[in-house]
């Protein structure tokens, strides 16, 4: 006679039910434990867009008006702790500035190579930036950024016009340090990030000191949206 004939039917159905309940209870307990960590704050690879302005404060500050700045970044979080995070990102930055003084009169005003500028100016660069943030409250990160890279302010006219009408005639054979190719650049400043209740999305503010050697020192203030994959 089979052993199962001595076991009541209720017991045979109750044991699997108890096992299922135990496994489900363990899974539920795990989920509850994970709820203690803010899982809606997603970490990992991300894409970010900044928009704002850059204000030059050095020799070219009186010449170049604050311009529109747009940054596009990709990066990833390299440290993820409840009260601390760190990330690395590569940023393509670009800006447009309008000049207060046109190139024709800059030479007669006695501008030197560190002030001369072609007029309306477009800048583009690439930066590698590291960021570390702490979290005084659940969804708010406050931290700092530091990075380095290169920037360029290319001529917006053909070479013949540049050499003849600008460098030779208007500037008296002087050339501008801003337009001499690739310019080493450093950035550093604070950052604030708010993690929205919409999973994967956050927004924030970056305020960077920027120094492009040969161009000028400036302050770049931008707001951003970030999507973490």
Give the CATH number of the domain where residue 155 resides: 2.40.160.20
Instruction: Average the pLDDT over 182-209 and give the result.
Output: 96
Which of 141-177 are b and which e, b meaning 16 or more Cβ less than 10 Å from the residue's Cβ? bebebebebebbbeeeeeeeebeeebbeebbeebebb
One domain for residues 111 and 203: yes
- Helix (H), strand (E) at residue 44: none
Least confident of 57-61, 70-74, 205-209: 57-61
Query: Which pLDDT does position 34 carry in this prediction?
Result: 46
pLDDT in tens, 154-190: 999 999 999 999 999 999 999 999 999 999 999 999 9
Mean pLDDT (whole number) for 36-58: 86
- Are 212 and 187 in contact by the 8 Å Cβ rule? The answer is no
The more confident residue out of 21 and 114 is 114
Evaluate if residue 36 carries a pLDDT over 80.
no
115 shares its domain with 193? yes
Does the structure show a pLDDT above 60 at 66? Answer: yes
Q: Are residues 88 and 32 in the same domain?
A: no
Please indicate, yes or no, whether residues 24 and 58 belong to a single structural domain of this protein. no
Mean pLDDT across 187-210: 96
According to the model, what pLDDT value does residue 56 have? 96
Quick one: 124 and 22 in the same domain?
A: no
Domains contained in the chain, number: 2
Same domain, 31 and 102: no
Asked if the model's pLDDT at residue 3 lies above 60, the reply is no
Q: How many CB atoms lie within 10 A of CB 39?
A: 11
* Contacts of 50 by beta carbon, 8 Å cutoff, 6+ apart: 69, 70, 71, 73, 91, 206, 222, 223, 224
Same domain (yes/no): 32, 44: no
- Within 8 A by CB and 6+ apart from 229, the residues are 42, 44, 45, 46, 47, 200
pLDDT band at 23 (very low <50, low <70, confident <90, very high): very low
How high is the pLDDT of residue 174? 93
Q: How far apart are CA 13 and CA 211, in angstroms?
A: 75
């Amino acid at each position: 006679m089979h052993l199962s004939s001595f076991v009541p039917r209720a017991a045979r159905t109750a044991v699997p039910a108890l096992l299922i309940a135990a496994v489900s209870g363990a899974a539920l307990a795990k989920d509850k434990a994970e709820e203690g960590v803010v899982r809606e704050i997603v970490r990992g690879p991300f894409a970010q867009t900044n928009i704002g302005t850059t204000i030059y404060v050095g020799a070219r500050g009186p010449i170049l008006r604050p311009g529109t700045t747009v940054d596009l970044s990709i990066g990833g979080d390299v440290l993820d702790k409840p009260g601390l995070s760190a990330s690395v990102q590569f940023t393509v930055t670009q800006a447009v500035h309008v000049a207060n003084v046109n190139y024709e009169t800059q030479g007669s005003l006695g501008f030197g190579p560190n002030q001369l500028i072609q007029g309306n100016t477009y800048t583009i660069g690439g930066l590698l930036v590291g960021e570390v943030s702490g979290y005084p409250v659940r969804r708010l990160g406050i931290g700092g950024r530091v990075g380095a890279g290169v920037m360029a302010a290319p001529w917006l006219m053909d070479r013949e016009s540049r050499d003849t009408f600008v460098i030779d005639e208007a500037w008296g054979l002087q050339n501008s340090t801003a337009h001499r190719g690739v310019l080493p650049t450093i950035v550093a400043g604070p950052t604030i990030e708010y993690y929205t209740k919409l999973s994967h999305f956050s927004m924030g503010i970056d305020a960077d000191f920027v120094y492009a050697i040969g161009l000028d020192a400036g302050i770049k203030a931008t707001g951003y949206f970030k999507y973490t994959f």
